Amino acid sequence: MKLPFVLPTSTVSRNALVCLAVVATGAALYWLRDILTPLAMAIFLLIMIDGVKRWIEEKTPLPRRFAGAAALALVVLGFFASIAIIIDGAAGFFGQASGVSTSIGPRIDQIIADVAGLFGITTPPTAQDLLNGVDVRGYIGAAAVQAQGIASGAFFVLVYLGFLIASQSGFRRKIVAMFPDRKGRDEALEVFQRVRGGVEGYLWVQTVTGAMICVVAWILMRAVGLQNAEFWTFVIFVVGFIPVLGGAVAGLAPPLFALVQFESYWPAAILLIGLQIILFVVGNLIQPRMQGDNQNIDPVVVLLSLALWGKMWGVVGMFLSTPLAVMAMAILAEFKGSRWMAILLSGDGEPYAEPRNSTSEKDAGKSRDVPPRRGRGKASPGGS
């Protein structure tokens, strides 16, 4: 008879404490979401500002003391411009929709009739019949509350960002005070560099690939004559930072709007096929090559992180889900007790590149008949 596998009491107790700590932390994050979501966005913007600052220092003759101010101005202006584009585009969309309301209703009825005819239904319901069972006022009220929350959230993000920038000057002194030993301080800074590199690498990849998708999408929408093509292009770029759901919105929203705008189904079909092709090419051929070492995250972890953070923090959580997963993996990999979790989160079982003690660890790996790691180099400003 095979004896059962017995874990040491200390291991069981430690794992139980870890589970309880994870549950308690998740409850605190959910309970404090109104406070933490603008802070998380502010930290995200601060990392962007730091990356833009270093890019300006390297690529332009601008003096170093002015690079930070220029980076801050660019990111803040981009932040406000994004909000303005969304508000202006949404206002234009609804204004045009109300202006052609006499044709939208019959067009939706025609689409329903055509679809029903494919299934042999002779008396299909109208759009009004379908809307009678829907609480339209409730949805409009919920949308208004969300819009108000976005406006107030943007204000608090900027407030947090200002205080974070002001506290940057004392960051190095705090690190020295927390880690008097030089070795411990170097290790802490290395973890910070790795986290920053992973987030910046993710931002770079998503920005470049999103721009590729937007160029092709704008050309397609302009070619078929879709209204508000610029607004839809910007929406596609923004939702591209949300994994899984972003691709679905980018590939389906413009074709659905084209169904209502045009009497023919061909513009919608062209948009649907064209967008799906570019999303497939970028998502399966270009993006994996660009990601490389910047986002060594298991796809299942990306999906679970999207669901988890979306449940706790809503749209902001969805937007930050992948950067938060990258940060968690980099931090967990630094501690012996939590490294196994970082390995599970990683895509290839190597949560980060060459270990600090590369020679000794490789020798130890050979003695245990473990294949050596593939060196990806240490974190850099452009990737982890």
- pLDDT digits over 73-120, tens only? 888 888 778 777 777 766 665 555 444 445 566 777 777 777 777 777
Helix count and strand count (H, E) for the chain: 15, 0
- Among the listed residues 213, 204, 377, the one whose alpha carbon sits nearest the alpha carbon of residue 291: 204
Terminal-to-terminal C-alpha distance of the chain:
49
Q: Is pLDDT at 367 greater than 60 in this prediction?
A: no
pTM given for the model: 0.71
Confidence band for 368, pLDDT divided at 50, 70 and 90: very low
Please report where in the chains the tokens 């920053």 appear, as a residue.
196
Q: What is the mean pLDDT of residues 257-279?
A: 88
Token digits of residue 64: 């170093």
Q: What is the mean pLDDT of residues 49-71?
A: 83
Are 71 and 52 within 8 A, CB to CB?
Answer: yes
Query: Which has more pLDDT, 325 or 351?
Result: 325
Query: Which has more pLDDT, 113 or 151?
Result: 113
Confidence band for 130, pLDDT divided at 50, 70 and 90: low
Beta strands in the chain (DSSP E): none
Distance CA(381)–CA(200), nearest Å, equals 7
Distance CA(278)–CA(285), nearest Å, equals 10
pLDDT at 140: 63
Distance CA(334)–CA(315), nearest Å, equals 30
Q: Is pLDDT at 122 greater than 80 in this prediction?
A: no
What are the pLDDT digits (tens) for 278-336?
988 888 888 777 765 556 778 888 888 888 888 888 888 888 888 888 888 878 887 77
Q: What is the mean pLDDT of residues 356-383?
A: 41
Are 224 and 267 within 8 A, CB to CB?
Answer: yes
- Among the listed residues 107, 261, 241, 131, the one whose alpha carbon sits nearest the alpha carbon of residue 249: 241
pLDDT at 371: 46
pLDDT at 217: 92
Are 359 and 315 within 8 A, CB to CB?
Answer: no
